[in-house]
Structure 1
Amino acid sequence: MKKNKKIEYKRVPELKDKKWKEFCIGDIYDIKSGCSLTKENMINGNTPFIGASANNNAVTNFISNTNRSLDKNVVNINFNGSVGEAFYHPYTALFSGDVKRLHLKDYPDNEYINLFIITSIKSQKDKYSYGYKFSEKRMIRQYIKLPVNDAGNPDYEYMEQYIKNLEYNKIIEYMAYIA
């Protein structure tokens, strides 16, 4: 948990009580490539290197290299390796050529919203096993279900508060446990 981070609980409807709609990932996110970087060219350092892994939030190394993939506050989706895995990175990291970096198009990038949407993205990953590549073209067109507001647009405020409430409840649970 971040220092001085205040999570406020606000009552929101249950997931089952929200209206949901399908959106293409490409309508929600700007999709950018990572950069190829071979192990031989990696220089040890402190910057997380994000690869196509399902482990350790996809951090496969710590390096001091830099390239055009240097980014933060971003979602990565693996299209090679552990295809369809997705993770959120609030910290500055470098991204391999086997992942795509996603930034929300019409809303400021937000940890809670991205964590909510990642669940919908990961629900599609089984579709991309056994050689059916999760190419950028397929990624752009891949539908995910999201809760919507009265205008039929993604309800980002709901998604943010829903995840904040989960974190709040977990903090209360931990505090009760250690008391």
Structure 2
Amino acid sequence: MSYEKKLLPLHKKEWKEFWLEDIVDIESGKDIYERERIDGNIPYVTATAQNNGIGYFVNNINKTLEEKAISVNRNGSVGYAFYHDYKALYGNDTRKLIPKYKNKYSSLFLTTVITKQKEKYGYGYKMGTGRLKRQKILLPINELGNIDFAYMKKYMQIGEIKEEYKILDYYYKLLN
């Protein structure tokens, strides 16, 4: 039996609502205006839906410097969420979410769940700190009714492996 078959599909898993603020700490970003930006290697996350939310690479430093955090656009491309496994700075048009359960794959799962709710937000109804704190999200639960972080991790790892196989298959076909 393959590893994948042991994992319940999403539609068969039990889900429950949770307040986002109970899962992550939510902080505001801080703008680095164009005239202040120093070219460098530190990703500066802005409110774009492209390039994992990275608008610039800078050599500036401020209090928003964080790694293993999720950015959520509150302006611009409102509602898009991205996981940053690397140190990055966060602009004011984003919110920095610091997961209380530190795991790359669980954080990637959270970004998907958050982004799925982007349709209810817009320019006139921004995804600001207050709304994010009171945002409910559905997450898979274990038999105790707690968030099933292990399931989320396995689900995302399997997805990553599937994508890697697609890439390998593509190059294999090119070679043959």
Counterpart of 1:63, as a letter, is V
Identify which of 82, 103, 111 aligns with 1:110.
103
What is the deviation of 1:176?
Answer: 2.8
CA distance in 2, matches of 1:55, 1:142: 24
CA distance in 1, matches of 2:128, 2:41: 30
Counterpart of 2:30, as a letter, is C
CA distance in 1, matches of 2:57, 2:18: 35
Q: Which aligned segments of 4 or more residues in structure 1 are displaced greater than 3 angstroms? A: none
1:154 equivalent to 2:136? Answer no
Identify which of 21, 24, 27 aligns with 2:22.
27
CA distance in 2, matches of 1:103, 1:94: 13
1:137 equivalent to 2:125? Answer no
TM-score normalized with structure 2 length = 0.91
Unmatched tracts of structure 2, length 5 or more: none
What is the deviation of 1:130?
Answer: 4.3
Identify which of 3, 6, 11 aligns with 1:16.
11
1:80 equivalent to 2:87? Answer no
Identify which of 125, 141, 166 aligns with 2:159.
166
Matches within 5 A, 1:36-75: 36-75=31-70
Counterpart of 2:146, as a letter, is N
Aligned residues: 169
- SS of 2:35 mapped into structure 1: helix
> How big is each residue's C-alpha offset from its partner over 1:77-117, in whole Å with a ceiling of 9 and x where there is no partner?
11111111100111111111111111122x2x221111111
TM-score normalized with structure 1 length = 0.90
What is the deviation of 1:118?
Answer: 1.1
CA distance in 1, matches of 2:32, 2:105: 30
